[in-house]
Amino acid sequence: MYPVLFTIPGIGWPISSFGAMMALGFLIGYWISILRMKEEGLDPEDAANLLMVIMLGGVFGAKLYYATSFYLIYGDPFWQSMFSRGGLVFYGGFIGGGLAGYLGCKYWKVPPIQLANAAAISLAVGQAIGRVGCFLVGDDYGIASDLPWAVAFPNGLPPVHYPVHPTMLYETLWLTLAASYLWFRRKQSASLMGEFLILNGIGRTVIEHWRLNERVALGLSEAQFIGMGLVVFGVILIVRARAARGEGGVQTEPTSSRS
């Protein structure tokens, strides 16, 4: 584990591995989004403003989801959770970033569906990199395991001194495969965001089997219900997109957001 990569000389400010991975995920996601926005016919001048709004909304949503859920379920101090070095919940970030992106699209007059399709691959890549950060700080690990790749996190969140499933890396592997698939599908897919939601939901629902999260109903965790909901929502997006294209499957050329 490497929770702190280094400390800035003179001021003693620690640079956490989680923060570094999160920043790297945003930077690579930004670069991919610029390429995808051009492919979708969107003006790249809108990219910087929109992606910054999405990033801020995503971070805030991820922390708010984490702090609220742990306060309601476990009674953890709300503000302490909000400013902890771990505890970013992807689904909270997805909701927060999605809402911020939608409002940004309305403000800058960018078609939200095209933006969503442009951002799908970036979401998969950014989440995959972010999960590496979770591994480095020992957050979101799984149940006990005797498999050769099981890992103990003595300085984790919380500490665990016996080998457990490194479920963060399971998600990184799945999301990397998903991002590769989406990249090759980007010009044929009726709804790239729909396909991302399906892949994300399937991966999380399966990997959650090895996670520690409390089961809330039917032997399933909250994350599994959300994951299944994402699959359903993704299917709806694809069906609607195919209907909009017509039964012949002819895709119209994307139009720019500016006249």
114, 40 contact by CB (below 8 A): yes
Among 59-73, 135-149, 179-193, the least confident range: 59-73
3-state secondary structure 69-82: HHHHHHCCCHHHHH
Query: Interhelix angle for 222-245 vs 192-207, to 10°?
Result: 160
Per-residue confidence band for 78, with pLDDT thresholds at 50, 70 and 90: confident
Per-residue confidence band for 177, with pLDDT thresholds at 50, 70 and 90: very high
Among 43-47, 140-144, 231-235, 241-245, the least confident range: 43-47
Higher pLDDT, residue 22 or 259: 22
Rounded Cα gap, residues 48 and 239, in angstroms: 31
Give yes or no for residue 129 having a pLDDT over 90: yes
HSE-CB at 152 with a 13 A cutoff on CA atoms is 6
pTM value is 0.82
Give yes or no for residue 55 having a pLDDT over 90: no
Q: Write down the domain spans for the chain.
A: 14-243
58, 100 contact by CB (below 8 A): yes
Per-residue confidence band for 92, with pLDDT thresholds at 50, 70 and 90: confident
- Tokens coding 133: 């950060």
pLDDT at 148: 95
Q: What is the largest CA-CA distance in the chain?
A: 65
Per-residue confidence band for 205, with pLDDT thresholds at 50, 70 and 90: very high
CA 38 to chain CA centroid, Å, is: 22
CA 55 to chain CA centroid, Å, is: 11
**Cα angle 161-164-168, degrees, rounded to a multiple of 5:** 120
Higher pLDDT, residue 87 or 113: 113
Give yes or no for residue 57 having a pLDDT over 80: yes
**For residue 170, what are the CA distances in angstroms to 26, 69, 125, 183?**
20, 23, 14, 20
Give yes or no for residue 255 having a pLDDT over 90: no
pLDDT at 171: 96
Rounded Cα gap, residues 122 and 191, in angstroms: 15
Question: What is the secondary structure of 138-190 as a DSSP string?
Answer: TBS-BSB--STT-EEETTSBS-EEEEE--HHHHHHHHHHHHHHHHHHHTTT-S
Task: Select the highest-mean-pLDDT range: 197-206, 217-226, 250-259.
Answer: 197-206
